[in-house]
Every structure is written in structure tokens, then in C-alpha cells.
Structure 1
Amino acid sequence: MPESTTQDISYEVVHYHTEMPFNILNVHKRDLYRNGNLSTASDVLDHWHNELEIVYSYSNDGIYYTDGVPHHMEADQFIIVNSRSIHKVISNRTTPYDDMPETLTTVLQISDSFLRSFIPNFEDLYFLPVFKTSEERPAQIMKDLARYADGKALNKYENMRLIGLVHELLYYICRDDLTLKDMEMPKKDRKNADILRKIISYTEDNYRLDINEMSAAQHFGYSASYFSRFFRSNMGITYKEFLTRMRINSAKDALTGSSKSVLEIAMDCGFSDARGLINMFNKYEGITPLKYRKKYTTT
């Protein structure tokens, strides 16, 4: 894997748009190329997250890197990004804009805890990055899932249909694409990933409470300085920033899904007061909580 500084690698806190334990996103060419100009192509820089990511490509352009290994995108191809794998995407800069499909990829991000709940020995397994199959059904499932992308509101009972589609897709991928993790990952990397998973799980369970880097370090029996260095070197961000991002994502859901006041939401999400939420929301989202509510709440 090419050398990277920790500043080049960021941890992504995935925001789930619905009550489902997964996200469905469509990446459109208009999102990557301003005014249809190839010179303005946007790349997705090195990052990682706890979710399994399944990418389905509609074009033959672009390069997907997983843990430093390049995979050239092909039409009707799947790229699998394992939980905690570092990945990035280099956009196409050669194919004329008008020759590209409107949607370049559909991305499915699945909760790590959801996978571990029904895949035996999940922590010992590893998905191969390029999933190849001669069967048409997996591609059909991804195209079907694409219709529900970007937090589209679900009609009655559609949540059951979505869960079924994701389970069916995972059946094909698990059947044909799983291998043992110790054949793919060094022992040290596996150990660090397991520690990070525990820290992330602890934070997910307790971010609404009055926790911070010091209390998290004490919970795991580490000194504050060691915990700080370990977390930043493996995550690319500080624990404080990670905790804040998680609280902001929770506040987003409350802003669009309830009529609670900003103060009530701030207290529910672990902020000490409304001003703390407003300041952090402005910093990370570039908008105030009330403006966010007005912009994204559907009536």
C-alpha cells in the first residue's frame, strides 16, 4: 500500500437517512463534474468507515482504490470495500462527459453491527474487493435498490422489501466472495481494527451522555495520551471530532424527524447547551440547525 500520512486519511461517520441499517446512494456525473467540464472532476480522498460498502458501477471509467490497490471500474462490476478498509476514488478524466451515463455508481453502505448479527464468525472473514459473478440477479438487485437512494421516503411495508433485497444481495456476495481475514490482513492490523471497533461501539452507545476523550480512555484502561495517539493515528481525526460528528448526525435526524427545540435536541445528543450544538453544526455543516430543519424537513 502506498505511504500516506494520517492527515490524508479521514474517518467517515456514516449518516443513515432512514430507519434501515444501511444507506443507499447514487453518484451522478453532475455531482462530480461542474458544468460538464472534465477538468473540474472531483475525487473522493482516502477515508474509511465501519460500514461494509458495496459499489455497483454503470460505466467503464474511474479507479477505485481499496487499501492502496487500484481497481479500474467497469460497467456492471461490483467493488466491495470491507469494514475499516481505506479507500478512495479517482474520477474519469478522459471519456467525454456526454458519453457517460447519468448515474455512475450506486453505493450500498451496510451497518457493521447488522452484518455481525447474522454472519457467523464475521470478525474472521474478509470480502474480496472485486466481486465477479455470471448471474444477473445481483446487478438487478442493485438497480432496484438505486430507486430508493438518498433517503427516499418509504411507502408502507417497503422497509420489509428493502431488507429482503439487501439480504438477497448479501447471500450472493457471502456465498462467492468471502475468505478468511488472516489470509488478507496482518495480525497487527486486525488487532488495531478490533480495538477501534470496540471504541466506536462504546461511543455509539454513550455519545448522548457526558463522555469525552478522558472518560473513554479510562473506560478502556488507557492513559489519556496513549488513547489520543492511538485513536488519531488509526482514525486520522481526534476522538473529540469523531464524537462531535456522531452527535451532529444524531441531531440531524432529530431536526428533521421531530418538533423538538434546538435546546432539547442539543441535550438529547450530548451537547451541554444549545449554543454548543449551533456552533458545531455551523462548523461541520455550514448552516444553522433551524435552517437545516427548514431545508430538509418534508411536509
Structure 2
Amino acid sequence: MYFVNKEYLEQATFLSAGTFITDQPWIHKERIIDSYEIISPVDSTLYIESNNVPYAIESGEILVVPPHTLHRGLKVYQGRMKFHWLHFSASCLKLKTEAEVIQEISENDLDRLIILPVYTNKVDSRRFHIMFNQLLDLYEEKKHKNYLNAYLSCLLYELTSEIMNYLIQKNFNGNQLQPIQDWIRIHAFENITLEHIANHFKYNKNYLSRIYKENTGIGISEQIIKFRLKHAKELLTETDLSIIEIASEVGYDDSKYFMRLFKKYETVTPTQYRKTFYRKHFNKK
């Protein structure tokens, strides 16, 4: 389960933060608070129950306790205990299932989407911990509340980014890209854009761009260029069309831009390429 806000505009308010450390026998007190709390152990395991669900939170894992939720320790911990904690308030966070979150990712503007896990052990939290320590320094220096709120937003976006990466990799099958890649190949010589493609396949354009690059290694804009240049090379070697005509044929009204692009990707000009490869397949000797 995840807490989601699809219209996040710095609505979170920083309240307090700290690092709890003890070498004495200890158990988390039973509590109900009116804010969100993020808990992440540093070098120990925290046994805790939140909303009647038991957790054994290992180092680097993250638990988010929502407001007005009973949470308490499950066992007395013997030895050193150290964990980060952060309290903040936020409006419009709604609890959603993983399937609902995937739908939100595919349909909404990723730049405004906040996704916080109820619990996760699937993300790389190293940067989160670095940012937390920086936020803690700012808090202890009694920085202006707007400064703290802004940095809190950065931290929440970092956690959101990690969650998005995990969910996309887990739920998106690379085979789903084949129809998209075929459509781009067929329409590459037309005046198409990322937005056109996203609308055709009913994806959010940022989401589509992200999953396409993660699965193919190149962005959609570059994919269009590659299809266009591939056809341009065929026309250069198999026809007598002029450079201007070939540029237009593969989707470029500006022939000078086409020539610069060709040189960038092929390291030679269209004319040089033609002289080197022109009708070479007709040579039988």
C-alpha cells in the first residue's frame, strides 16, 4: 500500500526530526500522533506494529506511519538501537493499492506526483539517509520554516523517485513496448512528437518517456531520429534524390538541420556517405 498525492505543490509541512540512539534495553512506546512519521533504522532492526500490522524494519528500510494511527514496539530490544525519525503534516495523501498507484503513474504528471510507501525494503535509501542528515542539520541550526519545508519536499520527492523506479521495473513488461516501437517506425517520417505517441497509446508522456528509455536505452526522440536516419541512408545509396528531397522524405523540412543531425550521428555528411556507399550492392566484383 502507498500514500499518494497527485497534485503535490509543496503542501507538506516539516514538524520535527531526529535520530534515536540507545544502548539500553528499550521498546518503542505505544503512541498515537496527529502527523505522519517516517521511521528508518540505521544499523539495527526495529520491531514495531502500526495499524495492527507487525513489521521487522531492517537497516535502510522505511516505514511511514499515518496520522491518528496506533503504533507500538513489539519486543524489548537488547543492544544498540539507532533509527531516524521524521514528523510532518501533509494534505490530500490517500491510501492506494499498488495497482492503483501504477495507474496514477501512467496517467498523471510525474512532476507533481508524491508516492510514499507504508513500508518498503525495495528501494536504495542511501541518498534518503544523506538528505535526512542534511535536513536534521538545518533543523538543529533553526533555519526558517519555509527552508525546512522546501527541503522536506526534496526528501519526499527522492523517496517518490525510488518508489517509482521500483514499481515501473516490477510492473512494466518490456514486451509492451513492441507495439509502440512499431508505431514509431511506421510514423517516424511524419511530424510526430512524444505527446502524439503518448496520446495514441493513452499514456502520460513523462511516464512513457521514462519506461521507453529504461527498457530500450534510448529516448523516444532519439528513436525517431534513428528510424529517420536509417531510411535516409537507404535513400542516399539507392536513389538519385537530392539531399533536400531526402531530408523532406524522412521528415525534416530544414535540410541544413538534417545535414547537421546526419553528421552528428554518422560522423560524415550525407554527401560523403553517398559517395562512399552509393549503389555498392550492385557491384558484383
- Whether TM exceeds 0.5 here: the answer is no
